[in-house]
Amino acid sequence: MNSYPAPALARVEEMAGAAAADPARAISFQGAPGCNGHRAALEYDPACLPLACFSFEDAIDAVREGRAGRAIIPIENSQHGRVADIHFLLPESGLFIIGEHFVPITYALMARGDGPFSAAYSHPQALGQTRVYLRDRGIVPMAYADTAGAAAYVAEMGDPAACAVAPPIAAQLYDLKILDSEIEDAADNTTRFVVLSRSPLDPATLAGRRTMTTFVFEVKNIPAALYKAMGGFATNGVNMTKLESYQKGASFAATTFYADIVGAPGDPAVDRAIEELAFHSKELRILGTYPQERARG
């Protein structure tokens, strides 16, 4: 908590106190108050108690330790790809995905003064999503732990040559001027968040609803193993909307895959596809089945 800039710290402490009184309603998120995770939590459940956490690990630990009933974590952005570290953190967290939420992302340039600015502080994802805007104005991107925290840092620092790239609400929270709005490089910039809980949803309770299932797997180290493992989804007509690989450990000998499919265990086609995947895999772990917020395909 002490890693937050002073302007954000009082708000973080206020959130922590409210969550401690009713942890079941709390949704933890990474970042300072005013970040997109804060906004995502309130959009997903307007009655929740948002709980600010400095890192993704802290937000996950809040759920594991019972200080929050759920966490909401960004997993991918339409312009900048997957969020770093999330694919490593999710399988090791022991938590389950119980929902998803899509947030249209918009950023503002904010500061104490009117510029010109030499440096803009923000989360690396936000800097990547405003890369063209900053480059065209000769503003050097400076990575910070989160977007709203960067706004609080600029407010605390008081440097007239420094600005922040953050959601507009952060300017209100930290008494900064908005110098320019909607500075994201793409108008359709969207981040997908997933909601995590200690207990999974029972797929049977989702009958009649459009669902997603997320899992990670490691195929056997034999020729064409991935090709064979994927065949069951094609032959059974199961739509795989996402497949990403990442290295497990430092040996570069084991590749883990992260996947999203449309459907749920209990559907015969899904069950057959997962059974074939398991046959060709050394490890398979389902991270959750949950309602689909946005149609795929």
User: How much is the pLDDT for 16?
Assistant: 97
At what angle are helices 56-64 and 86-93 packed, to 10 degrees?
Answer: 10
C-alpha distances (whole Å) from 38 to each of 6, 72, 119, 134, 149 are 18, 9, 25, 25, 12
Q: How far apart are CA 120 and CA 196, in angstroms?
A: 32
pLDDT the model gives residue 112: 95
Rounded-to-integer distance, Cα 212 and Cα 287, Å: 11
Which residue type occupies 138?
G
pLDDT on residue 253: 65
Task: Locate the domains of the chain by residue range.
Answer: 6-103+190-197, 108-181, 203-291
| CATH 3.60.40.10 describes domain 108-181 | no
Q: Tell which CATH classification among 3.40.50.300, 3.40.640.10, 1.20.58.340, 3.40.190.10 matches the domain 6-103+190-197.
A: 3.40.190.10
Q: Examine domains 6-103+190-197 and 203-291 and report if their fold is the same.
A: no
| pLDDT tens per residue across span 191-241 | 999 999 999 999 999 999 999 999 999 998 888 889 999 999 999 999 999
Q: What is the pLDDT of residue 17?
A: 97
State pLDDT tens for residues 127-151: 998 999 999 999 999 999 889 999 9
The CATH architecture that domain 203-291 belongs to is 2-Layer Sandwich (3.30)
Q: Residues in the chain with pLDDT < 50? A: 1
124 token code pair: 């690396």
Model confidence, pTM: 0.90
